[in-house]
Amino acid sequence: MIEVLEQLDRWRGEGVAVGRAVLVRAHGSAPRPEGAVLLATPDGRIAGSVSGGCVEAAVVVDIDEVRRTGRARVIEYGFSDEVARDAGLACGGRIDVLVEPEVRPDIVEAATIRGRAVITALPVDGTTSPRTGMVVSDDGATHGSTGDASVDRTLVGAAQEALRIGRSRLVEAAAGPFFVEVFARRPRLVIVGAVQVAIPLVSMAGTVGYETIVIDGRSAFATAERFPAVDRLIVGWPDDVAGEISLGPADSVAVLSHDLKFDEPAIVEALRRGCRYVGAIGSRRTQDDRRARLRAAGLSEADLVRLRGPIGLDLGGRDPAETALAVMAEVVAARFGGSGLPMRDRSARTRP
């Protein structure tokens, strides 16, 4: 929804009605994740996608229909094997899509503010409208209730986990199906060390939606000319800067400076603040020596288990851009709980 918000504002500025479809469940091979959105106007203009192009035409027709009736519906769409092949999919799949006659104000507000999950009770018979039961914020605040305390607890837990990883999801509860639609803040990658690897890393992080901060105490390295795409460039000591940038559990930290006086204070601060990913450059021998010093600095074994070093996945490349790719791949895998294995090997392990 966030990616189509500007288009929605433009259409509304023109006085155009806008209907919405949001993917609430994917079965089998589907090209878009839960939470993917398509907007459509009565004159046939669209923004976004729920299937990568396979069923969009049918969805637009159904948006027109629910606009006519005024009743939202959850509609199943299937990809035939032929359509799946045309779309580049391995096989057919199915998706369940919530089709609404308009874009609800609570959805617009959450997409604008971010850091919220909107929990919607889905219509199950085509005669009821979707209801927003609760809104859960990433600061722990909860607004609204389903009227059932046990269902509320289930949904709040699901919403907090969905906010943590930044993925919407369907939750089956005793009171029926609920869709937890996440409007997450941009994930943040903090890079310590304005070295050569950091330059492509900033670019790659931005491409996959991360906010980026580069920190280095050397002003000759930390320059706008070297890092034109960075969101924030700070000349300073990492442990001094941590409070200024509110470093915390939602952040990923890549320590690249390969300089003890920068690296180790940054690692200590990131681990103590519970950052979701902490990786540090250096050979295995360097890592062993570093871990001994970090123990002496008061870090526990549990802390050190969370330190990823040598940093990055084993892709085999050695150039700065190749190293940056390995680091970014590990950061993304840590965020979503990915194994880092080739999909072929992962499929083999999970096949019954």
Task: Name residues whose C-beta falls within 8 Å of residue 168's C-beta, 6 or more positions apart in sequence.
Answer: 24, 33, 34, 35, 117, 162, 179, 180, 181, 182
Question: CA torsion sign, 312 to 317 to 323 to 329?
Answer: negative
CB 260 within 8 A of CB 286: no
- pLDDT tens digit sequence for 102-133: 999 999 999 999 999 999 999 876 555 666 67
CA atoms of 96 and 196, how far apart (whole Å): 45
Assess whether pLDDT exceeds 60 at residue 334.
Answer: yes
Greatest pairwise CA separation for the chain in angstroms? 69
- 3-state SS track over the chain: CHHHHHHHHHHHHCCCCCEEEEEEEEEECCCCCCCCEEEECCCCCEEECCCCCCCHHHHHHHHHHHHHHCCCEEEEEECCHHHHHHCCCCCCEEEEEEEECCCCHHHHHHHHHCCEEEEEECCCCCCCCCEEEEEEECCCCEEECCCCHHHHHHHHHHHHHHHHHCCCEEEEECCEEEEEEEECCCCEEEEECCCCCHHHHHHHHHHCCCEEEEEECCCCCCCCCCCCCCCEEEECCHHHHHHHCCCCCCEEEEECCCCHHHHHHHHHHHHHCCCCEEEECCCHHHHHHHHHHHHHCCCCHHHHHCEECCCCCCCCCCCHHHHHHHHHHHHHHHHHCCCCCCHHHHHHHHCC
Amino acid at 62: D
Q: Which residue has the higher pLDDT, 307 or 259?
A: 307
The pLDDT assigned to 297 comes to 87
Q: Which residues pair with 38 in a beta bridge?
A: 21, 48
Assess whether pLDDT exceeds 90 at residue 272.
Answer: yes
The pLDDT assigned to 87 comes to 43
| Average pLDDT over all residues of the chain | 89
Q: Which pTM does this prediction carry?
A: 0.72
Task: Name residues whose C-beta falls within 8 Å of residue 242's C-beta, 6 or more positions apart in sequence.
Answer: 269, 270, 273
Domains and their CATH numbers in the chain: 1-103 (no CATH), 107-185 (no CATH), 188-336 (3.40.50.720)
* pLDDT mean over 218-236: 95
Assess whether pLDDT exceeds 70 at residue 348.
Answer: no
**% of the chain beyond a pLDDT of 70:** 91
Q: Which residues of 314-346 are buried (b: 16+ CB within 10 A; e: fewer)?
A: eeeeeeeeebbbbbbbbbbebbeeeeeeeeeee
Assess whether pLDDT exceeds 90 at residue 35.
Answer: yes
* pLDDT mean over 166-183: 91
The pLDDT assigned to 261 comes to 85
Assess whether pLDDT exceeds 70 at residue 86.
Answer: no
* pLDDT mean over 221-233: 96
Phi, psi of 94 (to 5 degrees): -135, 150
Task: Name residues whose C-beta falls within 8 Å of residue 296's C-beta, 6 or more positions apart in sequence.
Answer: none
- Band of the pLDDT at 337, cuts 50, 70, 90? confident
Residues in the chain: 352
* pLDDT mean over 332-337: 91
Phi, psi of 177 (to 5 degrees): -80, 140
Q: Within a 13 Å sphere around the CA of 231, how many CA atoms are in the beta-carbon half?
A: 17
Assess whether pLDDT exceeds 80 at residue 349.
Answer: no
CB 328 within 8 A of CB 311: no
Tell me the angle at which helices 198-207 and 320-336 cross, rounded to the nearest 10 degrees.
40
- Band of the pLDDT at 89, cuts 50, 70, 90? very low
CB 314 within 8 A of CB 326: yes
